[in-house]
Structure 1
Amino acid sequence: MSSGVTTFMISIQQLTKIYRTEEVETTALQGVSFSVAPGEFVSIMGPSGCGKSTLLNVLGLLDQPEEGSYVFNGTELLGLGERERSRFRKHNIGFVFQSFNLIDELTVYENVELPLIYAGVAAPERKTRVAAMLQRMNLSHRSGHFPQQLSGGQQQRVAVGRALINRPNLILADEPTGNLDSSNGNEVMDILCELNEGGTTIVMVTHSSHDASFSKRIVYMKDGQIVTEKLS
């Protein structure tokens, strides 16, 4: 927990997550406690298998821990039912993944619009918001193209635009530059920094010390535990 922070958007306490198969039991998170203030940009680093992505999935309500507490802006989330979790996720959290996760059969415009359709936003407002987002991501000239017609950097900008279109309080990014060259990677990091400067809270998993240097705080994990933190 960084010094001087007294009010948190996210506060998790003693999270434990265990994955079980018929033959193997793996503890991915061991009593993890972690807090993030509104407007922070936090990077999570550590070796492969240390629990970074599991922690991000719990924060995004994509995975459920065995034990612990997860409070988001004063609301305890781990006791919510699946429908409530899904609703909360759609309205409060945006995701950016290494693999882009775009739908090949949809155009750039349709990929960015999709979360608004799921959220029940009326067509006129969808049109206005998608047009503004594509302009912000410098993709207006690509709105009718399909993902396979774009460069990797353009695809990731589509993914960022889709993550932002519902105006979430929190962006969770899992290796967002992992499939990009350095030029496109820096472009995506510049976008994330711009969002953070505008007040968006970001938690990013990364192996890249370069990418982590853009954040304000770095959390290091090992063997399912947070072992140290430092200001970037």
Structure 2
Amino acid sequence: MITIENLQKVYKTEEIETTALNGINMHVAEGEFVSIMGPSGCGKSTLLNVMGLLDKPESGSYRFLDTELLTLRDRDRSAFRKKNMGFVFQNFNLIDELTVFENIELPLIYNKVNASERKKLVNEIIERMNIVNRNKHFPQQLSGGQQQRVAVARALVNRPKLVLADEPTGNLDSAHGNEVMELLCELNEQGTTIVMVTHSAHDASFSNRIVNLKDGHVISEKINKSRSAELI
């Protein structure tokens, strides 16, 4: 599903040049749940941003759904991202002035889905996320766990092929964090491909495979045999 070869990403200022990704090679199978781990500054979030087409590397290859994404024009990259990817961030990134329903609806509006279909899709995902009784609430009226459920619902409403999650439990207590991880695991078991950046070994235990980075390199990979057996 995803093949990454020799990704190089360098950040430059007038005085400093920092190599964030230094020859990354990685494959993600359809329906897999991959965790990316490593110390701060190792390139985890940079890699996720490149995979999400939010950042562009200096060189390398990134193929997804038989498409080489790094050669696409900016407009085509944006269209591809909106159609095929969903994002879950540590800080929720919900819009305070919009209700739960309206926050979840945003990706569909961006993709120019008509109003009746938007309503149908949002209601389906709200029910799936068990937040039906919160659809008219505003983010500040929700608990942290509920806000992250809204963020996950927004990521999934457009039925993306890939969900990218950056520290999705980082702002949650352990109980709400477990709730979100169990939700992501359930979605993965239903066929959603997930790539997650995390510092938490506990959160990573929900994935099929753990990829460890250091200084912009992949230094090791570990298969979670208990979960990977479910793919067979």
TM-score (ref. length: structure 2): 0.96
Q: Displacement of 1:57 after TM fit?
A: 0.3
Pick one of 20, 26, 35 that aligns with 1:28: 20
2:71 aligned counterpart, secondary structure: coil
Query: Partner of 1:63 in structure 2?
Result: 55
Point out the more displaced range, 124-133 or 153-162: 124-133
C-alpha separation in 2, matches of 1:140 and 1:199: 23
Query: Partner of 2:33 in structure 1?
Result: 41
2:70 aligned counterpart, secondary structure: coil
2:121 is the alignment partner of 1:121: no
Q: Displacement of 1:163 after TM fit?
A: 0.1
Q: Displacement of 1:139 after TM fit?
A: 0.9
Query: Partner of 2:229 in structure 1?
Result: none
2:89 is the alignment partner of 1:94: no
C-alpha separation in 2, matches of 1:190 and 1:121: 30
Q: Deviations over 1:177-199 (max 9, x none)?
A: 00001111011011101110011
C-alpha separation in 1, matches of 2:139 and 2:3: 36
1:168 aligned counterpart, secondary structure: coil
Name the amino acid aligned to 1:16: Q
C-alpha separation in 2, matches of 1:170 and 1:127: 22
Pick one of 186, 190, 197 that aligns with 2:182: 190
Structure 2: runs of 5+ lacking an equivalent = 225-232
Q: Displacement of 1:73 after TM fit?
A: 1.5
1:173 aligned counterpart, secondary structure: strand
Q: Displacement of 1:138 after TM fit?
A: 1.1
2:203 aligned counterpart, secondary structure: helix
Pick one of 200, 207, 210 that aligns with 1:218: 210
Count of aligned pairs: 224
2:164 is the alignment partner of 1:172: yes
Q: Percent identity?
A: 71
Higher helix share: 2
Query: Partner of 1:3 in structure 2?
Result: none
Query: Partner of 1:206 in structure 2?
Result: 198
Query: Partner of 2:134 in structure 1?
Result: 142
Query: Partner of 1:11 in structure 2?
Result: 3
TM-score (ref. length: structure 1): 0.96
Name the amino acid aligned to 2:52: G
Q: Displacement of 1:173 after TM fit?
A: 0.3
2:64 is the alignment partner of 1:72: yes
Name the amino acid aligned to 1:217: R
Q: Displacement of 1:132 after TM fit?
A: 1.1
Q: Deviations over 1:51-82 (max 9, x none)?
A: 00000000000000001000002110000011
C-alpha separation in 1, matches of 2:124 and 2:5: 38
The Cα RMSD (Å) is 0.5
2:8 aligned counterpart, secondary structure: strand
